[in-house]
Structure 1
Amino acid sequence: MTHASLLRQITDYANRADPYPLYEKLLRTPVLHDEEGGPYLISSYWDILSLLHDPRISSDAANLAAAGADETGGAEATGLPPSFIRLDPPEHDRLRRIANRPFGPPHSPRRIDSMRGELAEIVTDLIDDFRDAGQIDLVDRFAYPFPVTVICRLLGVPRADEPRFRAWVDPIVAGLDPDTGRNDEESRHAAQEARLQLGMYLAGLVEQRSKNPGQDMLSQLATGHGTDGPMTTMEAISTSVLLLIAGHETTVNLITNGMLTLLRHPEHLGRLREEPGLAVNIVEELLRYEPPVQLVPQRTCIADIELRGITIPKGSRIWLVLAAGNRDPERFRDADRFDPYREDIQHLGFGSGIHSCFGAPLARLEAQIALTELARRLDGPRLVEDPPPYRQNAVLRGPRHLAVAFDGVRP
């Protein structure tokens, strides 16, 4: 098997249901150059962790475009500035500090934990709604509406507008797929149009909140008066798009991958039902074992980097294959086994370094509550189809549908 064919297989939809044998092969060559002009694939846990903290690795969209990556489907094509995950310091740091003030410690230390009751109420209502169904698509009926509702309420999106977001989210996420063998102009145009419509909608909300601020996060982004000042209107829109897309889609996959894994390991599902506190360990092990973000393709070297005796030249593109690193046998004992009782679960599921997942505290809490209540309330849950149909995306990997049958719903 050539290096180029291994990369194509990783992005090939035919292998989406189980990419892990390919990652195992990739780990045999931890620094793999796909082909001339192609990216370097990094799969070792320790190498990925090091590069995530290395200032010679750039996330800036301009550097990525200079390295030859196709950026025409990004936010920039709609006139929006890049979100802070597509920037390097110091601009990245300024925008992330502003975004963090209303989201978490030290300025809003109780923001996420104070939502616990509301999250539980949303989950309860969703599960009540399929009490008499006998079989549901967990994605459509639960894993999608839960986090999109949470993100919308966190930002301050009116509840009547929440259903509109799926029509925007789906094409944008589809446009993130780095399938090297596809040149889908229609998909690219759909992603651009969805970003434009979502941006216009959010522009209206930002204007409203600037004049009449509330307690929601969007108001605080638009009117914040910390040491960095408020965001501009365009920065607030771009950050809101980031939170809606990245913060929502990854959580959908975390919950769906989580329930799929637990149904494949019913002994752990049963233990969660009896020991709700096990949810913390289960979610951390899921982030290692079946991470919703499989790889990070948008990185560029801004200087030569020596890694395992190989020189990665300045200007090269790098793909960090997080899911391979999470199953690196040099880092994790019995790495291919799902073990919530694992003593050391320091995974790469949320990345690391300055670009570590901004919404990790919220995603953790959502998944813990969701999986605990599904385990507690569903009587005799079982998979209808295994493997289920997966989404096209190789980066944000998760089932598109997950049919689950059950005998009833407990109170």
Structure 2
Amino acid sequence: MKQGILTDILDHSHRADPYPLYAELRKTPVYHDGEGPYVVSTYHEIMALLHDPRLSSDQRNRTAGAADPLAEEDTGDSATLPPGFLKLDPPEHDRLRRITNRPFGPPHSPHRIESMRGDLDETVKNLIDDIAAGTSGNGEGTERIDLVDQFSYPFPVTMICRLLGVPREDEARFHVWADTLAASLDPDPTADQAERAKVTQDARMELGMYLAGLIEDRRKNPRDDMLSHLAAATGEESMSTMELLSTAALLLIAGHETTVNLITNGMLTLLRHPDVLQRLRSEPGLAVPLVEELLRYEPPVQLLPQRTPLVDIEIRGVTVPKGAAMWLVLAAGNRDPQRFENPDRFDPDRKDIQHLGLGSGIHSCFGAPLARLEAQKALSELARRLENPRLLEDPPPYRQNAVLRGPRHLMIACDGIRP
């Protein structure tokens, strides 16, 4: 890819604040440098494309040689997991998503998420209690906390493990695989690409083998968890073994990676807007619209890089050819002034927040109900219990990933932790 604005967006030095680059990108709503992907950055065009059946999420429809630095290499190795339904088109996508939803949400399991409220409350309480018990003060009553390691990561990981039926004590094992697979979304021109592809493939295979063992156990000893329900399904509403493994891997990784970013980005934003933090402390109901505004203002998924037109598509006077690589930059669309008034302002009282933070259309975020609830609980309790919280480093260090953007650590101080 040529040196230019896409190179800048992918450059880690811009990770803390990519929004000026997105504003520049929107000046060319359909950007193409002649050899890289076609990049769409304006709200209305992205929303239309998310609902356009002519746009594929299946990379097998990508024309050979279509330049895309984020494209995953197809190794052709049948030993690794097949694509999850996130990377498939109808009818395969619709069938797998429908089957997966049976033990997760309406109409077959309408109370699944609601029934988790007690566990959510207890887990948040325990994590903050653990922080209170183990914080390192400076001798003057000031507590130092790494919010990512001590709260934002363990909270959604604990909940997705309980939902799926994955032993929480195995986190150290699947954390490595999850990090590797999440990192595979992000280009690193300095890395050995063949070695990176091998490491990614190995992680997928090891995760698949681990999940295969869990699924076999659930078939013999079923419990009230999603893996047990999916493994027990029969007939037309069942998956093949490889489909089940791929779906389980997708749910395990996507079920916590994005929520870690949502909670961390949320607390960072609140600490930069202390007036809103104070409001949340006294108005717990503010958490609902606040999280929606966060999903617009600082979305945990910045862009969708794996889209391909099935036919030539014209967008804003630009013809995107069949089989081309296409990116949809959700975070740029979320701050499009043609759609949102004062888009760079964080405003939880904003009306009509029809954001792109959880996608839209058939590939809208599968776990959105749980992610929303987790973020609402987390931010409300942090606001209520931390006394005088403040940032120790701003901007914080960010993860390498340009797609799943969020701080790697968020060091904060507070004067104490309320019971």
Q: TM range, normalised to the smaller chain?
A: over 0.9
After superposition, the Cα gap between the structure-2 partners of 1:60 and 1:207, relative to the gap in structure 1 and judged at 3 Å, is same
Match of 1:398 in 2: 406
User: How many angstroms does 1:386 deviate by?
Assistant: 0.2
After superposition, the Cα gap between the structure-2 partners of 1:152 and 1:73, relative to the gap in structure 1 and judged at 3 Å, is farther
Match of 2:8 in 1: 9
Describe the superposition over 1:264-305 as per-residue Cα deviations: whole angstroms up to 9, x where unpaired.
Answer: 001000000000000001100000000000000000111010
What is the root-mean-square deviation of aligned Cα atoms in Å? 1.8
Match of 1:39 in 2: 37
After superposition, the Cα gap between the structure-2 partners of 1:67 and 1:106, relative to the gap in structure 1 and judged at 3 Å, is farther
Q: Would the aligned equivalents of 1:75 and 1:192 in 2 still touch at CA under 8 Å?
A: no
Match of 1:263 in 2: 271
Amino acid at match of 1:80: L
After superposition, the Cα gap between the structure-2 partners of 1:65 and 1:246, relative to the gap in structure 1 and judged at 3 Å, is farther
The CA distance in 2 between the partners of 1:179 and 1:324, in whole Å, is 22
Q: In the alignment, which of 145, 165, 168 is matched to residue 156 of structure 1?
A: 165
Q: Would the aligned equivalents of 1:4 and 1:34 in 2 still touch at CA under 8 Å?
A: no
User: How many angstroms does 1:81 deviate by?
Assistant: 1.4
For structure 1, the 5+ residue unaligned runs are none
User: How many angstroms does 1:189 deviate by?
Assistant: 3.1
Match of 1:229 in 2: 237
SS at 1:358 equivalent: coil
Amino acid at match of 2:47: L
Question: Percent of counterpart pairs with the same letter?
Answer: 67
Amino acid at match of 2:246: S
Describe the superposition over 1:317-360 as per-residue Cα deviations: whole angstroms up to 9, x where unpaired.
Answer: 11000000000000000000000000111100010010000000
Amino acid at match of 1:212: N
Q: Would the aligned equivalents of 2:72 and 2:185 in 1 still touch at CA under 8 Å?
A: no
After superposition, the Cα gap between the structure-2 partners of 1:249 and 1:49, relative to the gap in structure 1 and judged at 3 Å, is same
Match of 2:83 in 1: 82
User: How many angstroms does 1:183 deviate by?
Assistant: 4.7
After superposition, the Cα gap between the structure-2 partners of 1:221 and 1:65, relative to the gap in structure 1 and judged at 3 Å, is farther
After superposition, the Cα gap between the structure-2 partners of 1:319 and 1:109, relative to the gap in structure 1 and judged at 3 Å, is same
After superposition, the Cα gap between the structure-2 partners of 1:224 and 1:77, relative to the gap in structure 1 and judged at 3 Å, is closer
After superposition, the Cα gap between the structure-2 partners of 1:361 and 1:236, relative to the gap in structure 1 and judged at 3 Å, is same
Amino acid at match of 2:5: L
User: How many angstroms does 1:161 deviate by?
Assistant: 2.0
After superposition, the Cα gap between the structure-2 partners of 1:76 and 1:375, relative to the gap in structure 1 and judged at 3 Å, is farther
Match of 1:142 in 2: 151
After superposition, the Cα gap between the structure-2 partners of 1:162 and 1:288, relative to the gap in structure 1 and judged at 3 Å, is same
Amino acid at match of 1:320: L
Q: Would the aligned equivalents of 1:3 and 1:32 in 2 still touch at CA under 8 Å?
A: no
Match of 2:333 in 1: 325
The CA distance in 2 between the partners of 1:180 and 1:27, in whole Å, is 25
After superposition, the Cα gap between the structure-2 partners of 1:322 and 1:183, relative to the gap in structure 1 and judged at 3 Å, is farther
Q: In the alignment, which of 214, 223, 226 is matched to residue 205 of structure 1?
A: 214
User: How many angstroms does 1:73 deviate by?
Assistant: 7.2
Match of 1:24 in 2: 23
Q: Would the aligned equivalents of 2:80 and 2:201 in 1 still touch at CA under 8 Å?
A: no
User: How many angstroms does 1:112 deviate by?
Assistant: 0.5
After superposition, the Cα gap between the structure-2 partners of 1:310 and 1:205, relative to the gap in structure 1 and judged at 3 Å, is same
After superposition, the Cα gap between the structure-2 partners of 1:246 and 1:73, relative to the gap in structure 1 and judged at 3 Å, is farther
Q: Would the aligned equivalents of 1:172 and 1:191 in 2 still touch at CA under 8 Å?
A: yes
The CA distance in 1 between the partners of 2:116 and 2:77, in whole Å, is 33
Match of 1:348 in 2: 356
Match of 2:394 in 1: 386
The CA distance in 1 between the partners of 2:8 and 2:83, in whole Å, is 30
User: How many angstroms does 1:383 deviate by?
Assistant: 0.3
The CA distance in 2 between the partners of 1:75 and 1:172, in whole Å, is 17
Describe the superposition over 1:234-269 as per-residue Cα deviations: whole angstroms up to 9, x where unpaired.
Answer: 111100110111121000000000000000001000
1:289 aligns with 2:290: no
The CA distance in 2 between the partners of 1:105 and 1:234, in whole Å, is 25
The CA distance in 2 between the partners of 1:402 and 1:280, in whole Å, is 23
Amino acid at match of 1:66: A
SS at 1:228 equivalent: helix
The CA distance in 2 between the partners of 1:258 and 1:45, in whole Å, is 22
Match of 1:54 in 2: 52
User: How many angstroms does 1:233 deviate by?
Assistant: 1.4
Amino acid at match of 1:72: E
SS at 1:251 equivalent: helix
SS at 2:21 equivalent: helix
Q: Which moved more, 1:177-186 or 1:127-136?
A: 177-186
The CA distance in 2 between the partners of 1:319 and 1:77, in whole Å, is 28
Match of 2:140 in 1: none
Amino acid at match of 1:367: A
For structure 2, the 5+ residue unaligned runs are 136-142
The CA distance in 2 between the partners of 1:45 and 1:136, in whole Å, is 37
User: How many angstroms does 1:76 deviate by?
Assistant: 6.5
Alignment of 1:301-340 (within 5 A): 301-340=309-348
User: How many angstroms does 1:3 deviate by?
Assistant: 7.8
Match of 1:102 in 2: 103
The CA distance in 2 between the partners of 1:126 and 1:94, in whole Å, is 38
The CA distance in 2 between the partners of 1:193 and 1:3, in whole Å, is 31
Q: Would the aligned equivalents of 1:67 and 1:315 in 2 still touch at CA under 8 Å?
A: no
The CA distance in 2 between the partners of 1:276 and 1:293, in whole Å, is 26
